[in-house]
Structures are given as structure tokens and as C-alpha cells.
Structure 1
Amino acid sequence: MSSNKNALIRYKTLDKCLKNKYKQYTLEDLIDECSEALFEFEGKESFVSKRTVQLDLQNMRSEKFGYEAPIEVYERKYYRYSDPDYSIHNISVNESDLKAMNNAVQILKQFKDFSMFKEMNGVIQKLEDSIHSTNQKSIIHLDKNEQLKGLEHIDVLYEGILNKKVLNILYKSFNARESSNFVVHPQLLKEFNNRWFLICLHKGKMYNLALDRMESIETDEKIKFIDQDLDGDEYFKDIVGVTVSPTMEPRNVVFFVDSSNAPYVKTKPLHKSQEIISENEEGTIFKICVQINNELERLLLGFGNCLIVHKPRKLRLRMEEKFKSGSQNYENLIVPD
């Protein structure tokens, strides 16, 4: 059990004892009560030290967690609340606190129909009830698409990663004629551009599988799970999107953005490595250091004629070719009446 959870159990136990009007608790009694409470939760002997309980009482008295509990020692021996109606669960909140919690509730409500957050519906309702939340419309709107195909798979994939289970996924990529079985060791879930991907190990190589191409998922208990111990921030640090190459080194990508669009790129960098090389009245030259993948190309193409890639040469030529091809498509376009 985590130390934070242990502390919460001790605080709850101490609160129950300190508000008990019919029993006198010494420090030793409080230690015994906390040890017994932890034993009930953990199912094994858990001795709580005298120093731990003394620190807990000190923290409850202080402003550290917002309790400021009126704990007194009478007859130099017994502990109780000087206010018989006090409890750490009855902490009052001011108007500012209520507004902050109400704003948080409005944001959480946007996830109520999202698969992973369905179990939170009751929690959100309790929050609304407890803080007297109004029926105001949400001021903060998050970009999401609950109708996106594949969201129904998130729960089982999440559980597979959490519990380290090998999964057998029936998968059909966009360019495949038939579905194929992928026996994978799931590592991470990644959202990019409003689509979800599973980062997994398959036949010794890392893959990213789009959730909207998954047809069915089954757990395979016979195969031992291989944990790659991936850290998402570290794994994706050199890319835009989800496609990571184990062999490709990140390259310096230098590009020009005209003056009307440069402020958007300055305030919303294409990658955390982004820096400004130079700028003038016509525009700004930026540099990012990333692996070259399809997601990066699509992002750069999305700026249209407002962005020009300078380096690397191979990427510049590929962008040029795609713009030429796009231009020809419009030139040859026959629009039906």
C-alpha cells in the first residue's frame, strides 16, 4: 500500500477517535487504533510508530492539509477535539473554493460519456451535489470526439497495460485486404490529433496500432508478458505524433513561416525543441530537432503556402513534390454540375 494511502487511513482513524465523546484515548491507544486499521486494509501486521502518530497529529493541527484540527490534550494524557462537532470531513470551503471546484466539475462533465470515465459519472454527480454546483454551461470546452470508432477498446487495453496482459488483437489496417491477428504486449496508450493508438511490442518490434482499426481483442494468458518499461515522455520526446523509429536519429528541421502565421507557431510550438533562427518583416525561420515521420509531414503540409521547409533537403523535395501533385489535382479537377 502506498505511503499516501497509509496516511489517509491513519488520519481517518485518528479523526474517528478524537471525535468519540465516550472514550478517552491516550497516545498509545491511538497508535494501536492506527495499527489495527492498517491491518484491516492490508491484511498483514502493520505497526505504526509513536513518532508517526505524533507527526500525524501535528499535521492535522496545522494548515498543511487545510484541517487546522482543534486537537487538545487534557489531563496531560488523553487526546480529543476541543470542538465536539469538529471532523476533518466537515471542513468548510469559501466562495473562491466553491467556484474553483465548480469549474473543475464542468470540465469533468465533458468526459461523462467517454468510455474510460463512465465510472466517474457517480463521482461527478456527488461533487455537483456537495458543492451546490449550478447548471451553468461549461466555459472550458475540450476538443474530443466521443463518436470516434475504437473508443470502446480503451478500457480493455488500459487494463491490459495496467495488469501486464498479452493481448490477441484482430486488426485491419487501411491498406490491408484482410484482417490479421496481432499478439501484442501493450505498453502505452497515446492520443494524437483526436485519434487513439496502442503502443505495443509485437514479434520483438514496437508498433503503434490505431484503435479504430481494431475489430476484436482477447487476453492470452498462456504467453508471458514482456514489459518494456516505457516512459511516455522519454519514448515520444523526439517525434511529432506517434510513429517512433528505433534506429532513426532526430534531424534538424529548418522551416520558414510567413509573418502572418509566425505568431501562431511561436505561441504553439510544433515541438518542444523549437527555437527561432532568425526573423524579419517577411517572416520567421524556425528549427526543431525531430525524427522525420508521416505525422510531421502532414503537420507541415497543413500550413499550405505559409510554410517552406529549408532543411533537410530530402524532406524539402518531398514537400515540394506533394505540393506539385496537389496543384495538378486542382488543375485536372472536373467538378460535376
Structure 2
Amino acid sequence: MLRNKFKPYPTIDDILEACEDSLEYAPSLDTLEKDIRNMKQADVLDAPIEYCRKNKGYWYTNPNYSINSIPLTEEDITTIKEALDLIKNIGGKRVNERFSEAIQKILATYSEEFPDGNSQRKIIQTDYVEGAKGYENFNKLYEACKNQNPISFAHYSYNSREFKAIIVHPILLKEFENRWYLIGYSETHNSIRTFGLDRIYEPVLLKRKYIESNSNEVESYCNDIYGVYPLENQPKQTIRFLTSIKITNYFEAYPIHATQKGEKNESGSSFFTIEVVPSIELIRLFRSYGRNLEVIHPNWLREQTKTLL
């Protein structure tokens, strides 16, 4: 209303009436006056709003001002530069070509706007390796998740060395240890399953009704786990393990799950507990530490790893 040249200098009553027409509730005059004062504050919108006594209404002293084009501070620009450097070093190709092209456009603009940037100096390095499989289908799988579109594809099993036709009602795409996975309800397995993108071939969108999974089940399947492949018939449970002095600090600095809690011993070793659904990746992680990690509970998981103690 402040930028409307055909009806300039709106009064507080004009603004109130407009709010009543467009909002589900009507703010009070006191609320509107406080909002205008807040908009004028430098740390909010720094809006050049003034009351014109002659025209008995509000106006912008700078006619080109708009809350949709708030100027950036030097700190804002520095932060954006750092974020763009991070994007540039991570790279879009680790997701798919479409995202990569979008990032390249942003970076091209970045180079024009900030030519003083030191583009030759690489200060972030990731473990992404060129040539990884599966990213060619990322866009189609992403759209299927977003639009809740059932999808069919040929899935290759590394264990049985054979292809199998799968129909999935996709839920989300998840990255773990620099690998991408599709999580969705599988008609073939009649349950929520995980499929590595590197084993998905020829995905095809299907014209059939989408089967929506229970939200609590999805939440548990995606978050109550370390990794992506939960062990069958294993519920969420408390897992307790002991770490040696050598690796305790690593677990304290980088918790393996949001539920992780630690009890440090005087010797420097520590007992940790996590509340998760056991997974293939969790067993692999525990085994990788050899004698420096001992599973205390549950007993079945201790049996899986005690040969390394």
C-alpha cells in the first residue's frame, strides 16, 4: 500500500481495513502501529516509513524502497560468499546434472558480482569420487518422491547377482556415507524398504494409486537407525557398548546417533548407550574398531562382534 502510486499515503484505518479483507483475523490499531515502528528499526527492515501530516497518511521517504529487496550488509555478503564457496567445492554432480547446472548458474553470477573472490584456492575437500553410479536417475526419483508417484524399476542384488522387478511407492531420498538411497513402500516386500541408487535401473513412473505409509512408521524407519539397512525382525532397543581410551574422544566429538549418551570412567574409557533399530551399518561400524570397542548389551549383538575382542 505504501508503494501504490494511484492511492498514496494510506492511513492507519486504510491499512486496518485491508488487513480485515485479506486476513482471517483483524489486528488492533495498537498492533499495526507497533508493526510499523518495528519495520523502521535498522535491525529489522530499516524501512523509511514516515507519517505525512499534510496528507494524513504513511509513505516511504525513499520511493524505490521495497521490503522485497532489502539491501545486504557486508556481513550478509561475506556469509553468502562462504556458502557459495562451500557449494562450489561440494559440487552439484554428486546429486545430478540438473542441480549441477543450477549451481553453475549461481556460481557464474557469483563470479560477476564478486570478482575479487579467490576461486583458485580450494579450502574444502570432500570424499566424493567422480564416476559413482546411480546419480543419473536422481532427478526422476526425486520427482517421484515429491509428487508421490509410484515407480517401477529393475533392482540388481549384489548378493544373488540377479535383477528383480520392483514396484515402490517412494517416500524420500537419503544420503549416508556419501551414498544415496531411495526409501519407500515396496509392493514386492509389502513393507518399507531401502534401495541403493547404484542398484536401480530403468525407473518408470506408474499411473496407479499411491500407497501412503504410516507417518510414525516412516519416522522410526528413517530416524531410529544408524545407517540405512535395518536388520529384519529387530525392534528399536537400547544398545550399550564400551570404548577404549583411544577412541572415546571420537565418539564424544562425533556421536553416532541423536540418542547417544556417555558415562566416562576414571581410566578414560567410556560406556555409551544408544536407542536405535540395529542395522547392518551399525554392526560394520562396531567391528571396524576391533579390540577398542566392546558391545555389552544386547547379548545377540555382543555375539556378533565378540570374535574381534
TM range, smaller chain: 0.7 to 0.9
Q: Is it true that 1:206 corresponds to 2:186 in the alignment? A: no
SS at match of 1:98: helix
Q: What is the CA–CA distance in structure 1 between the aligned matches of 2:68 and 2:142, rounded to whole Å?
A: 33
TM-score of the pair, normalised by structure 2: 0.80
Assess, with a 3 A threshold, how the Cα gap between structure 1 residues 217 and 67 changes in structure 2: closer, same or farther.
same
Q: What is the CA–CA distance in structure 1 between the aligned matches of 2:300 and 2:56, rounded to whole Å?
A: 80
Please provide the CA RMSD for this pair: 3.4
Select which of 153, 156, 164 maps to 1:172: 156
Show the counterpart of 2:303: 317
- Which is worse superposed, 141-150 or 48-57? 48-57
Deviation at 1:307, TM superposition (A): 1.5
Deviations 1:19-65 (A, max 9, x none): x5x86353588899x99xxxxxxxxxx9525859958755543446x
Q: Is it true that 1:285 corresponds to 2:271 in the alignment? A: yes
Q: Is it true that 1:217 corresponds to 2:197 in the alignment? A: no
Q: What is the CA–CA distance in structure 2 between the aligned matches of 1:274 and 1:257, rounded to whole Å?
A: 13
Assess, with a 3 A threshold, how the Cα gap between structure 1 residues 258 and 146 changes in structure 2: closer, same or farther.
same
Q: Is it true that 1:304 corresponds to 2:282 in the alignment? A: no
Q: Is it true that 1:135 corresponds to 2:135 in the alignment? A: no
Deviation at 1:298, TM superposition (A): 0.4
Show the counterpart of 1:162: 146
Task: Give identity over the alignment, percent.
Answer: 27
Show the counterpart of 1:83: 62
**Structure 1 unpaired stretches of 5+:** 1-13, 36-45, 325-337
Deviation at 1:81, TM superposition (A): 1.6
Deviation at 1:123, TM superposition (A): 3.2
Q: What is the CA–CA distance in structure 2 between the aligned matches of 1:117 and 1:58, rounded to whole Å?
A: 41
Equivalent residue letter for 2:47: A
Deviation at 1:210, TM superposition (A): 0.6
* Number of aligned residues: 294
Deviations 1:178-236 (A, max 9, x none): 31111110011111111111111112211101100011100001x10012254765433
Deviation at 1:139, TM superposition (A): 3.3
Assess, with a 3 A threshold, how the Cα gap between structure 1 residues 306 and 245 changes in structure 2: closer, same or farther.
closer
SS at match of 1:172: strand
Q: What is the CA–CA distance in structure 1 between the aligned matches of 2:172 and 2:238, rounded to whole Å?
A: 27
Select which of 129, 148, 164 maps to 2:132: 148
**Structure 2 unpaired stretches of 5+:** none
Deviations 1:113-139 (A, max 9, x none): 331623343234334544556134353
Deviation at 1:303, TM superposition (A): 1.2
- Which is worse superposed, 208-217 or 299-308? 299-308
